[in-house]
């Protein structure tokens, strides 16, 4: 029930996922607000956590909210996974408090795909769950990210890089330098060294590790830059008759590239470290984004994501 | 007024309340119980964020709710709990034990 376009686009996406992908989707929320489900089951929840509600306290206060009920459905084995386009913090809090943390995991992290030219996406984490991190937490993020890369993209031995301001291990904040040291000998991690922000779209690794503050800034910068570039390109193509003629030739060739970098097709971010699958789609999700998120949630649940993460994480 | 206590489990004293909070915190933060003392600050010494504290609150309510009918930690009181000692004092007062 969350998100800027709920419930219309959410329900439309759920119906499309059921039809196109054959996924049994259960909608969670106030039945009178959900409207025509097209035959999909509804798990009633009388409350909704708003986008601006405080995440942690709202999960405690609104026990009959759609987010809390969805997390409980996963905990109780009634659903394989939950997907939300609502309040990100509250989605994380409800998953953490209702599904529980995996043993050994200090803090869950948000893993988001970063498109790569001609290859499967890299996984960036943490994309915003933990603004302040310790080196040991970042090592766990590396382990969880590698497990996700395997479950989501079938990478057998994912490589891991650490986001920094230079490739040399002597560069970066104390957090980055200490994390670099730990990653060199960490279990279940094929560490390939530091990576800089300019390399995010041509990443030399399957997993990109950073703290939640830096990760969120990097992600939003990337999204904004890509959007700006696309808009600027379209402006040039519309500038005169010659450009318009060129656009007729070029745009069909550019369309697949644009689709590859379209956030709606990427499928949301996964919350790793909780005892269940939780996929968080962006707040402005349309039906296509919801279809993508449901596909990802279904696929990683079927690939045993939670067990893979549990096995990959080394206790501190 | 002290909360009603179930007959099958006796009331907790202050040392037991500290042990309960210490053990739950150690489990949530994945640290050794021995590294937690009453003077430990949640934010500065233990790096416990707001979600970790909510985990603690929910864990305490579940554990103590089995012993004491209606035991609940109010959200608005959480801001005042800055150290483990604050939490122990709060729970002891709520339980009406000493």
Model confidence pLDDT, tens digit, residues A206-225: 999 999 999 999 999 998 99
Residue B89 belongs to a domain: yes
Q: What is the mean pLDDT of chain A?
A: 93
Taking an 8 Å cut-off on Cβ atoms, the answer to whether A104 and B30 are in contact is: yes
Residue B31 belongs to a domain: yes
Taking an 8 Å cut-off on Cβ atoms, the answer to whether A60 and B57 are in contact is: yes
Residue B63 belongs to a domain: yes
Chain A's closest residue to B25, CA to CA, is A106
Segment B9-23, tens digit of pLDDT: 567 889 999 999 999
Distance set, CA A294 to CA A20, A269, A309 (Å): 11, 11, 20
**What pLDDT score does B7 carry?**
45
Q: What average pLDDT does this structure show over A178-205?
A: 95
Residue B49: list chain A partners with CB under 8 A.
Answer: 107, 130, 132
Burial classification of residue A129, based on how many CB atoms lie within 10 Å of its CB (0-12 exposed, 13-18 middle, 19 or more buried): buried
Residue B18 belongs to a domain: yes
**What pLDDT score does B50 carry?**
83
Taking an 8 Å cut-off on Cβ atoms, the answer to whether A60 and B51 are in contact is: no
B77 is catalytic: no
Q: What average pLDDT does this structure show over B78-98?
A: 87
Q: What angle do CA B52, A147, A302 make, to 5 degrees?
A: 100
Rg over CA atoms, chain A: 20
Residue B4 belongs to a domain: no
Structural domain including B58 reads: 14-95
Catalytic residue (choose from B49, B75, B86, B89): B49
First to last CA, chain B: 14
Q: What average pLDDT does this structure show over A284-303?
A: 95
pLDDT over 90 (residue A71): yes
Segment A225-258, tens digit of pLDDT: 988 998 999 999 999 999 999 999 999 998 888 8
pLDDT > 90: what percent of chain B?
50
What number is the ipTM of this complex?
Answer: 0.73
Tell me the residue ranges of DSSP E strands in chain A: 26-29, 41-44, 81-84, 109-116, 119-125, 159-164, 190-196, 207-209, 269-272, 277-280
Q: Domains of chain A (ranges plus CATH)? A: 1-105+273-305 (3.40.718.10), 111-265 (3.40.718.10)
What's the pTM value of the predicted model, to 2 decimals? 0.88
Where b means 16+ CB within 10 Å and e means fewer, A220-239 reads eebeeebeeeeeeeeeebee
Q: What average pLDDT does this structure show over A176-190?
A: 95
Q: What average pLDDT does this structure show over A266-292?
A: 93
How many domains does the structure of chain B reveal?
1
Residue B8 belongs to a domain: no
**What pLDDT score does A277 carry?**
98
pLDDT grade, residue B3 (50/70/90)?
low
Residue B42 belongs to a domain: yes
Chain B's closest residue to A131, CA to CA, is B49
Instruction: Say whether residue A87 is in contact with chain B using an 8 A CB cutoff.
Output: no
Segment A14-57, tens digit of pLDDT: 999 999 999 999 999 999 999 889 999 999 999 999 888 988 88
Q: What average pLDDT does this structure show over A125-154?
A: 95
Residue-level length of chain B: 98
What secondary structure letter does DSSP report for A52?
T
């Amino acid at each position: 029930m969350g998100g800027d376009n709920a419930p219309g686009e959410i329900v439309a996406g759920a119906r499309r996922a059921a039809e196109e992908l054959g996924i049994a989707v259960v909608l969670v929320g106030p039945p009178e607000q959900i409207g025509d489900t097209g035959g999909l089951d509804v798990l009633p929840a009388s409350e909704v956590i708003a986008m601006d509600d405080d995440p942690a306290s709202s999960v405690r206060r609104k026990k009959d909210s759609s987010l809390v009920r969805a997390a409980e459905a996963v905990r109780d084995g009634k659903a394989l996974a939950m997907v939300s386009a609502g309040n990100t913090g509250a989605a994380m809090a409800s998953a953490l408090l209702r599904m529980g943390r995996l043993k050994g995991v200090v803090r869950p992290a948000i893993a988001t795909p970063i498109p790569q030219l001609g290859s499967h996406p890299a996984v960036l984490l943490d994309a915003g769950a933990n603004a302040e991190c310790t080196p040991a937490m970042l090592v766990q993020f590396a382990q969880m990210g590698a497990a996700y890369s395997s479950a989501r993209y079938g990478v057998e031995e994912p490589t891991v890089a650490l986001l920094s301001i230079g490739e040399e291990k002597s560069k970066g904040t104390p957090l980055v330098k200490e994390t670099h040291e730990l990653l060199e000998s960490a279990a279940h991690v094929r560490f390939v060294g530091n990576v800089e922000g300019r390399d995010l779209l041509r990443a030399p690794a399957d997993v990109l590790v950073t703290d939640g503050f830096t990760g969120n800034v990097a992600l939003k910068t990337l999204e904004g830059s890509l959007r700006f570039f696309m808009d600027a390109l379209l402006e040039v193509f519309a500038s005169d008759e010659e450009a318009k003629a060129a656009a007729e030739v070029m745009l069909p060739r550019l369309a697949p590239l644009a689709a590859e970098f379209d956030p709606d097709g990427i499928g949301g971010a996964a919350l790793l470290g909780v005892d269940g699958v939780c996929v968080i789609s962006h707040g402005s999700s349309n039906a296509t984004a919801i279809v993508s998120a449901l596909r990802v949630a279904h696929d990683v649940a079927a690939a045993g994501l939670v067990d893979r993460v549990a096995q990959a994480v080394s206790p501190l | 007024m002290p909360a009603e206590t179930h007959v099958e489990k006796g009331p907790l004293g202050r040392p037991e309340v500290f042990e309960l909070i210490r053990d739950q915190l150690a489990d949530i933060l994945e640290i050794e119980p021995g590294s937690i003392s009453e003077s430990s600050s949640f934010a500065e010494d233990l790096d416990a964020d707001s979600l970790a504290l909510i985990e603690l609150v929910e864990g305490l309510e579940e554990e103590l709710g089995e012993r004491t009918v209606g035991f609940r930690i109010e959200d608005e009181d959480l801001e005042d709990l800055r150290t483990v000692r604050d939490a122990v004092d709060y729970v002891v007062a709520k339980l009406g034990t000493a």
